[in-house]
Amino acid sequence: MTQVKQRLPISEAAQILDVSIDTLRRWDKSGVIRASRSPRGHRLFDLDEITRVIAKQQSRSTGQGERSFTIYRDDNRHGLRAIDLFAGGGGTALGLDHAGFDHILLAELDPHASATLRTNRPDWNVIEGDVANLDFRPYRGEVDLVEGGFPCQAFSYAGHSRGFADTRGTLFFEFARAIQETMPKAFIGENVKGLLRHDRGRTLATMCNTLQAITDENGVGYTFGYRVVRSQYHDVPQKRERLIIMGVRNDIGSTLYFPKERGYIVSLWDAIGDRPQSPGATYPESKRRVLEQVPPGGYWRDLPVEEQQRYLGGSFHLSGGKTGMARRLSWDEPSLTLTCSPAQKQTERCHPEETRPLNIREYARIQTFPDDWEFQGGMGAAYKQIGNAVPVNLGYYLGKCVEAMIDEAAVAANADFIEAAREEEYVQSTM
């Protein structure tokens, strides 16, 4: 006999959890606890889920519970070979490595990031310099995957959304050239969610047209599509949305796979509750005094009005764009999206209890780098490499998707990590 689940309205659930209704709405949005909807659209919360959240909070507060944090890594290697472009500090490359891929080339312009790759993986073939100077034709027939997180600043609002007018935006065409010259079995492109709307969708349309034009001498091209992936549902303790483009060569397969969302999230406490020690940024006394007044999960609105006005200055009277200011993270939720600095005024990432920015190792944990991954170039360079990275666990999920696209026999084995693309996620040919 199927047991009927007891579902409670948001007011009752908030009372049981001893949180505000607004907090519960935020938890639902971030995945701390998931709500269903009544026929009239009202949130309903599963009593069992409420019990789970309470138990986790109690185990954290008493210090007696176990943290649930896993960096996935396979023992067996399938031997698929990858080229990694714009490799940065190694987030995607390491995730793919953990999923069994061998790297035959990693291209990176930044000398500090290149040093990080060489230090941690001396056997990787790291080419430091402008990707435009690389000839990929010798790798044709030797590579299964071309992967590239072409620089996203040109398409992000923080980077002023200049797109192809920015020289970083043109690096997409180097990614496409690498695919054309090597004709891999599959490819992955990664960028910010803002690419969907950039230039009213024309930028993404140009990219899709470019990818559709790639064929070999026999006219064989690629089936590809895209999805916005939410990292917090892929064993990453961070709310980080990215646009993922997946493609498979038409003579290899026709089914695309994307990372499958889990039914749980990894909280900040799971990731850094043991307070890993490392160098880190600090606050000036004036800023520390302000953030001392902000509770866990709070931000500038939790300050006294006079303090709000002093801290925000001219921004106080502006609408929108201020939710990251004077922001203290919460133990019970994933971190907000990490940026290249943990102490920027617009994107504050203050530790949940201690009044300080997250340190380098905490930053790396949140991006699911293992603790033995060493970042080169000093503190500022380390924060930049980590903040720009694709989370390692997300890279692992993507590797599982590619393996399934290339080898149908791998679909069942990777079922926990992958799901077939929906029809509307495929890019329809216009050629």
Task: Report the DSSP beta bridge partners of residue 43.
Answer: 37
Give the pLDDT of residue 114.
98
Beta bridge partner(s), residue 160: none
Q: List the catalytic residues.
A: 152
Buried b (16+ CB within 10 A) or exposed e, 1-26: eeeeeebbebeebbeebebeeebbee
Question: For residue 17, what pLDDT is reported?
Answer: 85
- The Cβ of residue 210 has, within 10 Å, a number of other Cβ atoms equal to 16
φ/ψ of 409, rounded to 5, equals -65, -20
**How do residues 229-249 score in pLDDT, each as one tens digit?**
999 999 999 999 999 999 999
Instruction: State the amino acid at position 261 in one-letter form.
Output: E
Note the pLDDT of residue 3.
54
Which CATH number is correct for 81-264+391-425, 1.20.1070.10, 3.40.50.150, 3.40.228.10, 3.90.1170.50?
3.40.50.150
Q: Tens of pLDDT along 6-34? A: 889 999 999 988 888 988 888 887 778 88
The pLDDT value given to residue 1 = 44
pLDDT recorded at residue 65 = 65
Sign of CA dihedral 206, 420, 85, 222: negative
Strand order across the beta sheet in which 43-46 lies: 7-9, 43-46, 35-37
Which residues of the chain, if any, have pLDDT below 50? 1-2, 153-169
pLDDT at 64: 64
Distance CA 377, CA 362 (A): 18
- The per-residue pLDDT for 358 is 97
Beta strand residue intervals within 70-131, DSSP E:
81-85, 102-108, 126-128
Which CATH superfamily, name and number, covers 278-388? DNA Methylase, subunit A, domain 2 (3.90.120.10)
Spell out the residues 6+ positions from residue 139 whose beta carbon is closer than 8 angstroms to its own: 83, 104, 105, 181, 182
Residue ranges per domain, the chain? 7-61, 81-264+391-425, 278-388
Alpha helices in 213-355 (DSSP H): 268-272, 285-291, 305-312
Q: Which residues of 362-383 are buried (b: 16+ CB within 10 A; e: fewer)?
A: bbbbbbbbeeebebbbeeebbb
State residue 27's pLDDT score. 81
- Quote the pTM value: 0.90
Q: Looking at domain 7-61, does it have CATH number 3.30.450.40? A: no
